[in-house]
Each structure stands twice: as structure tokens, then as C-alpha cells.
Amino acid sequence: MSDQPLSLAADNPGAIVAAVTFAVVGISFFMAMPVIVGAWSQYSGFSEQQAGYLAAVENGGTVLSALFVSILLNRVDRRALAIGGICCAVAANLASTALANFYAVGLCRLLSGFGGGTLYALGLAALAGTSKIGRNFGILLFVQVSFGMLEINLFSALAERAGINSIYVCMVLALTACLGLVRWLPAKEEKSTRPLSANVITSVNLPWVCLCAVFIFYTGVGAFWAYIERIGKLAGLDPDLVIGSLTYTQVLSLLGCILAGWLSTKLGQFRPLVFSLVCIAAAALSLTLGISNVSFVGALCVFFLCWNAIDIYQLGTLGNLDPSGRFVALVPAFQAPATALGPAIAALLLGSSGNYHWVLLLVGVTSTAAALLYAFSYIRLRDCNVVAGL
């Protein structure tokens, strides 16, 4: 398989399954983080503050792995990187089952995040080398969202019956299963069948512009996701309505994945991406005019319908700009710090005024700014007649 061009090897169904599986398993700890943080504080003897630090350390490992993979991606065998990431994460999770010291567990969580993040970045990079990039990223996000919903319920039940160690063991089993798929991963980068003009792209650093847009957008997402429950309750809505809305509107994420995969094949990446960002900005800003049951549920519907769709478009855009996957592999390094920064900025805004309107304005401004950056990139490429597939 390694003798095939990457554009053909990456399109093999086995290669797509491997890439999607790596990306889903690699980020599975983050997807179930609310349950895991609770399990650390309830069943491991750590305080809530310490549990939060462990979560931050795990995310930090993911950021480091994204930088690591982006540097080595096209220099070494990708399968060797995958095996190394799996072994690192497996060893870290096994060690976590036998340790109780906070600092020792923290080191294990750093290594677990690094190993899992390596798989995640490799999966993203592999999908960036496929010919039907929008469809394949749509498949990834659909599976990721579906798996995340299942994972939260599974990990919660496991923790109640057998403690945090059951979650570690479950992760070890999933990671070990990934070893059977390593052979399907394209071993190296070859020339893509859909290259863009390197001079055009690098002349204005468009991949970096798009990565900055990812960071800005996820700063707003972090703020919105951290405080939307409080915003609903502070507005006087019924707590059951707030929790129910947050739970059931997430199903729209699956529809968003399907629509994004379809639209990206019909319209490209940029135009649906800019439109979706504007929709989220409008939804957030509309809540500053007043929050009712209808407006709250409506805003959540828009948010969940567009959120994962935006992820698909962003990944597809970067994959088209750089089919080697190096910039796509960097996405976690921009997402994770932004999702930490967003709640921190929102907390400062609430602390200074006590008014949630400023948080919603932050979401509106960041989504609009990201849309403008993508619009700039699209116009720059259009002027150079290299917008095919974008």
C-alpha cells in the first residue's frame, strides 16, 4: 500500500475507516471530559480543582502532540507515529490505574493526551489527503458526535459501577483495537491530485489565516458552551427547559454533519462556512435583545446545527489549501487553547459587569471575525483564479 500515491491510498475505504477511527478514539477523552472530571473528583480522591487541572494537563498533551505531528508528518513513516501514539496512550492509561498521587497521575494524563492527540492529528491529516474531503470530514464529525453521546453514557455507567479505573481500561481496549487498523494508514505523503498554487497560498499565509480563524471561532464557542446554561437560568427560564434544550438540540449536530458533507460537495467549503459563521453570530446577538423560551431554543438549534458543520468546512478548507495534512494536524493546537481562553474571557466580562450580554456579544464578535477572515481568504484565492473545490 505504501507504493500507492497518497491520493489513491487515502481514498481506500480501509484507509478512511482507519483515519476516522484514529480521530474519534484519539479525542475520546476530551469528548467525555465532563464525566471524567466528575469521576476523578468522586472516585479518585482528587478535589474538583485537582480534577480540573488534570483535564487541563490532558488537553495540553493534545496541543503538544498536534505540534509534534505537524513537524514530523511528512518526514517519517505515519504508521510509526500512529504506533508510537497508541503505545504512549496505552501505557499512560494502564499506569493511571495503579497510581493515586496527583502529580504522578498528572504526568500520565499528559502522556495520554499526547498519545491520543497524535492519533487524532494523524487521522485528520489522512482525511485531508482524500479526494472527497468534505464528505469524509462529514463522516468523521457524524461518527464523532454519535460516539461522544454514547461515550458519555457508557463512561458514566462504568464509573458508577467500577470507578475511574474502568474508564482507563475501556480506553486501553479502544486504543489497542486501533493497532489492527494501522496497516491501512497511508505511510507517507505523495503529490495530491488537487494541488493549489503554492505561490498563491504561501504569499499571504492563507493556511495560517484560517488557523487564526479557527482559534477566534473556538474562543467564542468556549465562552458560549461554558455559560449558555447559566445564561438561560439568569434570564429566568425554567431550569428543566434549559437542561432539556441543551440535551435534545444536540441531536441537530448529526443533521448538521450530513448537510455539511452534502453542501461541501455542491458549493465548496468557503461559502457555506461563512454563512454558517454568520448564522451563529446572528443567533448569539439575537439573545442580547431578550431571551424567551422560543428564542433560547431557537438559538441552540442554530448553534448545534452549525457548530459541527463549521468544523467540517474548516477542516475541508485547510485540507484543500494543503493536502499534505500538515496544517490540518495543527487544528487541535489552535482549538484547545481557544476553548480554555473563551470561558476565561467570559468570566472576566461577567465579573466586570455581571451582565451576560457581554458574553453573547463576545460570541457574536468572534464568529463574525472568523467569517471575515475566511471571506478574505476566499477573495484572495478567487482573485488568483484558484478557488476550485473551495
Cell of 265: 460537495
Q: Give strand ranges (E) for the chain.
A: none
pLDDT beyond 60 at 57: yes
Confidence band (pLDDT; 50, 70, 90) for 3?
very low
Q: What is the pLDDT of residue 5?
A: 42
Question: In the structure, what pLDDT confidence band is assigned to residue 6 with cuts at 50, 70 and 90?
Answer: very low
Average pLDDT score over residue span 210-222:
93
Which residues does 212 contact at the CB level (< 8 Å), separation at least 6?
A: 334, 373
> Mean pLDDT over residues 235-251, rounded?
84
Look up residue 202 and give its DSSP letter: H
Give the model's pLDDT for residue 7: 46
Q: Is 267 exposed, middle or buried (0-12, 13-18, 19+ CB in 10 A)?
A: middle
At a CB cut-off of 8 Å and minimum separation 6, what does 369 contact? Answer: 213, 216
pLDDT tier for residue 226 given thresholds of 50, 70 and 90: confident
Question: Residue 167 has which C-alpha cell?
Answer: 474508564
Residue range 166-182: average pLDDT?
Answer: 94
Q: Is the pLDDT of residue 354 over 80?
A: no
pLDDT at 235 over 70: yes
Which residue type does 159 have?
A
Residue predicted with more confidence, 297 or 38: 297
Mean pLDDT over residues 305-310, rounded? 91
What are the pLDDT digits (tens) for 60-107? 899 999 999 999 988 899 999 999 999 999 999 999 999 889 999 999
Question: Residue 213: pLDDT above 70?
Answer: yes
74: buried, middle or exposed (CB in 10 Å: 19+, 13-18, 0-12)? middle
> What's the CA gap between 50 and 16, in Å, rounded?
38
> Residue 4 has what pLDDT?
43
Distance (Å, rounded) from C-alpha 207 to C-alpha 205?
6
The whole-chain average pLDDT of the chain stands at 86
Percent of the chain surpassing pLDDT 70:
91
Residue located via cell numbers 442554530: 302
Average pLDDT of span 41-50: 83
Segment 135-157, tens digit of pLDDT: 899 899 999 888 888 888 888 88
Rounded distance between C-alpha atoms, residue 186 and residue 270, angstroms: 27
Cα 270 to Cα 147, 206, 210, 274, distances in angstroms: 27, 13, 11, 6
In angstroms, the CA 251 to CA 371 distance is: 25
pLDDT digit string, tens, across residues 259-278: 888 888 888 888 899 999 99
- pLDDT of amino acid 95: 96
Does position 240 have pLDDT exceeding 90, yes or no?
no
pLDDT score recorded for residue 385: 53
* DSSP string over 254-273: HHHHHHHHHHHHHH-SHHHH
Question: Can you give the pLDDT at residue 187?
Answer: 84
